Structure 1
Amino acid sequence: MMLLAGVAAIALAGCATNRTGALNADYSNLSGPQIQAGVADLSQRYAQDPRNKALGIHYAAALRAAGQTEPAVRVLENLVSVHQGDPEVGLAYAKALSAAGRFESALRVVDNAMNPVTPDWDALSVRGAILDQMGRPEEARQAYTQALLLAPQEARLHANLGLSYAMTGELVEAEAHLRQAAALPGATSKVRQNLALVLGLQGQFEAARMLYATELPPEEVKANMDYIRALLTQQDRWQAIRNDTPA
């Protein structure tokens, strides 16, 4: 069940002006069979050209979407050894480390990959996501806010900021930022599903159900609504949300 997807997933798609495009690899919105097909295809291509930076970044992103976090780390470790000092490879490596739960290492890598004078908004988003997973929300929100100064119309940044508030139980703030994200071009189904989750956690069950119904088949709508009601019975629901957020 892909709930609160976005913060730790650290999506790859985007259109920053200071990137070559190698990082525009997001497989998380695909279906399971599509992801598996992508992994199979990229695996064959990567085996023939393991030094190819863009190919390796795409392959690692597909592996992460398939839940194969350790193989993704190994792919990026190989790229780091070949493309030493490359900021795009470093950022992709940080994403892979974060997905594998190695947050301290991921934070060091992203800090080394990020230009402190002209930081990329995606790198700042990655940094924020890692800090959220480490239980450092104030620092995470500073990173997202700085990123929004560079890319104010980037839906993913507004969504990540909303999810950050959701993970600390500040649901009114979470809803406001997720609504802003959902209204922007480029908002994904995950953004709208996360908004539905936050609505449900505030007791707005019908609004949550209706929003889920626009995104998911009936059986998944029911599963998500059952999940929300189960969360509401847990005293440590915010930790449960954090743990359910794929890295």
Structure 2
Amino acid sequence: MAISLLATAAAASLLGGCGHSGGGLANTGLGIFNRKPPEVQMSAAEAFEATTKWGAAYNKDPKNARNALGYAASLRALGNNQRAAEVLQTAYLANPNDGQLAAELGRAALETGQVGLAGKALKTAEDKGIEDWKTLSAQGTLAAKAGDHAKAQKYFQAALKKKPDSSSVINNLALSYALDGKAKQAEKLLRTAADNGHDDKRLRQNLALVLGVQGKYDEAREVAAVDVGESQAKKSMAYLKNMLSNSTAVASAEPQTPSRDDGDWSPFGPSVASAPAAPVVTAAAKPQTRQVPIVRMVRPVDEIVSEPPKVAQATPVTPGMSTFAKSSPATAR
């Protein structure tokens, strides 16, 4: 029986109550992005300070690429992804040949569900030679959402070469494998990540899912129980068995607006008695046509806001967000 992967991927909480993307923030003046700080989490107060300072600079010159990149990064740190996308779009319209602006806009648009805008912006970024891991991961997410998993996997693999320790990219590549009917490859990738020290609930729960769709229910239950407990793991396995025996489920992960708490996240839904989580869609009993999976890739959680990228008007250092990713596109998920 052909089976599509059932999964509901959670976005990470922002740092200090609103988690996000990778690098850290110094807290001194408008020069806070002039050097790459150590990768530490920043507090909500630091994110607010950065937003205030970059916002003042942006308001003076909203078409300036560097100001827009800095302001958008700090907005993302506070979870205001919609406003960040608007800021980037305004600057991009004034600087249509700026590849880095295009890349950041593409990621932000993807996070806010503006798939058409994301596609155009990421295409411009690719044409301009932007190939950082977060942008590659976002391109993979875009391809996966369109159901082109062969293309998505190439982007995710390229992103992993640049950022081998990115849990978000590993997770999204594994989900793409599973949705593409390559459950064994997904299992191998997730096991390798676990063996290499990735202590990530999403990776474990998706490993449990991949094991489950292969009929390895006992092992899947053991893996799931690490995070949700034995009782819930049993319910999840019963739920999964029921889904696989009675319908073809389609679903899984896209950069979502970060939630404040992903502690209850599970790819199996809340419980066996509960309705599936919102992203999950089940096919009709007698489907007339093949349903295309709704793909929602995980936003990068191993990024923290850092410096804005290099732009034509200035010489800032590589940004962090995002995860995806994020940051929040990351990526970078």
1:181 and 2:166 correspond: no
CA distance, structure 2, for counterparts of residue 170 and residue 117 of structure 1: 31
Aligned to 2:144: 132
1:81 to 76, 83, 90: 90
In 2, Cα distance between the equivalents of 1:174 and 1:74? 35
Which one of 152, 176, 179 corresponds to residue 167 of structure 1? 179
Q: Give, in whole Å, the separation in 2 of the partners of 1:216 and 1:231.
A: 19
Larger radius of gyration: 2
Deviation at 1:128, TM superposition (A): 0.4
Deviation at 1:54, TM superposition (A): 4.3
Is the alpha carbon distance of 1:246 and 1:173 closer, same or farther for their aligned partners in structure 2, counting shifts above 3 Å? Answer: closer
Identify the range of structure 1 (199-208 vs 184-193) with the bigger mean alpha-carbon deviation: 184-193
Deviations 1:86-116 (A, max 9, x none): 6555434323322333323212212323475
Could you list the per-position Cα deviations for residues 198-245 of structure 1 after superposition, in whole angstroms to 9, with x for gaps in the alignment? Answer: 111212222222212222356654564354234313543235474373
1:213 alignment counterpart: 225
- Partners of 1:194 and 1:231 lie apart in 2 by 16
- Find out whether 1:141 has 2:153 as its counterpart: yes
What per-residue deviation string (whole Å, max 9, x for no partner) do you get for residues 9-52 of structure 1? xx96457xxxx769x899xxxxxxxxxx96x9967974675336
1:95 aligns with 2:107: yes
Larger displacement relative to structure 2 (150-159 or 132-141): 150-159
Tell me: CA distance 1:118–1:48, structure 2 relative to 1, closer, same or farther (3 Å).
Answer: closer
- Give 1:76 deviation, angstroms: 1.9
Change (3 A) 1:114 1:212: same
TM-score, normalization by structure 1: 0.67
CA spacing shift, 1:86–1:227, aligned 2, 3 Å: farther
The superposition leaves residues 165-219 of structure 1 with CA deviations (integer Å, 9 ceiling, x where unpaired) of 1112321121112222333355522112111111112122222222122223566
What is the SS of the residue equivalent to 1:101?
coil
Whether contact under 8 Å (2:72, 2:88) holds in the other structure is yes
- Matched AA of 2:122: V
1:56 maps to which residue?
72
Q: Which amino acid aligns with 2:87?
A: N
Q: In structure 2, what residue type is equivalent to 1:228?
A: L
8 Å contact 2:109–2:115 — kept in the other structure? Answer: yes
Q: Match of 2:302?
A: none
Aligned to 1:109: 121
Percent identity among equivalent residues?
A: 25
Please state how far the C-alpha of 1:126 moved relative to its aligned partner. 1.0
Residues 4 and 244 in structure 1, CA contact (< 8 A), matched pair in contact too: no
Check whether the contact 2:183–2:214 (CA below 8 A) recurs between aligned residues.
yes
Find the counterpart in structure 1 of residue 8 from structure 2: 3
Give the equivalent residue in structure 2 for 1:119. Answer: 131
Aligned residue pair count: 221
Where in structure 2 are there 5+ consecutive unaligned residues?
A: 1-5, 12-18, 24-34, 59-66, 252-279, 282-292, 299-333
Task: Kindly indicate whether the alpha-carbon contact (under 8 Å) linking 1:57 and 1:76 is maintained by their aligned counterparts in 2.
Answer: no
Letter in 2 for 1:157: V
Match of 1:232 among 240, 244, 249: 244
> Take 1:119 and 1:234, find their aligned partners in 2: how far apart are those partners?
43
Structure 1 pair 72–148 and aligned structure 2 pair: CA distance change class (3 A): closer
TM-score by length of 2: 0.52
- For 2:54 and 2:107, the matched residues in 1 are separated by 22
Which residue number in structure 2 is paired with residue 243 of structure 1? 294
One-letter amino acid of the structure 2 residue matched with residue 139 of structure 1: K
Distance 1:234 1:60, change over 3 A: farther
